[in-house]
Amino acid sequence: MFSIFYEQMRALYLLIIKELEMTLRHCFKLKTVSIILLLSILVGVAPAGRRDKQMSTKTLRSMARAYMAFGKYEKAHLFAERALRQGQSQKTDTGEMALCLIDMGTVCSYEGLLTQARRRLEEGVELQKEALFADHPYVAHTLRMLSNVCLRQGDLEQAEAVLSRAVGIMLNHCELQSKEMAPFIFESANLQFAKGNLNQARNNYQTALDAYEQSYGSQHLMTANVLEKMARLHTAQNDTEEATQLLSRSLKIKTRIYGRYHPGLIDSWLAMARLYKQQGQTERCEYYLAKSTETVSNSRNAVTMARVYEQVNQIRKQGLIAAAIVIN
């Protein structure tokens, strides 16, 4: 028991060292060796001891999740992939192996590696059924995540089929009006939005928003996510004034939770840039585009950088394309 505790505490210590090192280096431009030495003195623990290669899959996954929380998906990918490889080589029990696959799929989803995310989540949910049972709520949540990946791939038929299975499982355990159903109602709204059923999407978003605000409050991250999606719906309906208000509320909540320059804010900034582009407010548009490119450059994640730069170029070309259509 003590060795497991020691291992997990050391893993957390190493993660804190790395994050504080990067922060101090950015603020004070100190050398790496000096920073590590300073932090070791402050913490009172030397970075020696058991090697990283002896970490359990649970510890590796915990570090992957911590890096995801920091928005450092490339590092999260490395730890999640390492946990998965270690689990496969050591013939880890079914339940832990399922979590290794699901965590790997989650990281890939954040990175935009949707094909990999879908495969890992599909493999993970099958093992999860074996470890728990096919009707378990955890299985439903994994299916919900898988449905979202299918949706982002444009496979609406499969997204709907998977989400229907997830909702069916949840309704065996709770009422439709319960807070546990809010994530599934939210995902249903996303699906309806993608299918063009805007009125149904709006109703589902409002239901999910009411549930989140009642259960978690108006300043919760889940509340912010619904507000952002509602803003995108209003944008699609050319209601830019309401969209701007909703997105501003969402961005304020997310900034308070994440901090001012977190990669988790990039999609919100890009959405805000699109709104200001539609409204002809070029300076405000460029302000959010600049924040997006600066933050994604610091992340050093090639996949995310490519996705963001592509979207930035698309936003900048919106006005040019419209002007070209008018001229022709």
Q: What is the pLDDT along the chain (328 residues), one digit of tens a residue?
A: 434 444 444 444 444 444 444 443 333 333 333 433 343 333 333 343 444 456 899 999 999 999 988 888 889 999 999 999 999 999 889 999 999 999 999 999 998 899 999 999 999 999 999 999 999 999 999 999 999 999 999 999 999 999 999 999 999 999 988 999 999 999 999 999 999 999 999 999 999 999 999 999 999 999 999 999 999 999 999 899 999 999 999 999 999 998 888 888 999 999 999 999 988 999 999 999 999 999 888 877 777 888 899 999 999 987 644 433 333 3
> How much is the pLDDT for 260?
86
Question: Using CA atoms, how far apart are residues 2 and 244, in angstroms rounded to an integer?
Answer: 52
- pTM score over 0.75: yes
Q: What is the dihedral of CA 33, 37, 40, 45, to 10 degrees?
A: 90
Closest CA to 235 of 272, 191, 285, 208: 272
- Asked if 117 and 155 touch (Cβ cutoff 8 Å), the reply is no
Question: Using CA atoms, how far apart are residues 59 and 134, in angstroms rounded to an integer?
Answer: 27
User: Under DSSP, is residue 130 helix (H, G, I), strand (E, B) or coil?
Assistant: helix
Question: Using CA atoms, how far apart are residues 311 and 93, in angstroms rounded to an integer?
Answer: 42
> How much is the pLDDT for 282?
93
Taken in order 215, 217, 221, 224, is the CA torsion positive or negative?
positive
Which residue is it, tokens 């259960």? 215
Residue 6 CB neighbours (<10 A): 12
Q: Which amino acid is at 171?
A: L
H-helix or E-strand containing 96? helix 94-111
> How much is the pLDDT for 53?
52
User: Under DSSP, is residue 55 helix (H, G, I), strand (E, B) or coil?
Assistant: coil
Give Cβ neighbours of residue 173 (< 8 Å, ≥ 6 apart).
137, 180
CA-only gyration radius of the chain, Å? 22
Question: Using CA atoms, how far apart are residues 78 and 60, in angstroms rounded to an integer?
Answer: 9
Question: Using CA atoms, how far apart are residues 57 and 83, in angstroms rounded to an integer?
Answer: 5
What own/partner pairs with CB < 8 Å and gap ≥ 24 does 18-25 have? 19/70
> How much is the pLDDT for 273?
94
The full DSSP string for 260-291 is: TT-GGGHHHHHHHHHHHHHTT-HHHHHHHHHH
Question: Using CA atoms, how far apart are residues 58 and 301, in angstroms rounded to an integer?
Answer: 24
Question: Using CA atoms, how far apart are residues 309 and 291, in angstroms rounded to an integer?
Answer: 12
> How much is the pLDDT for 6?
41
Question: Using CA atoms, how far apart are residues 7 and 15, in angstroms rounded to an integer?
Answer: 12
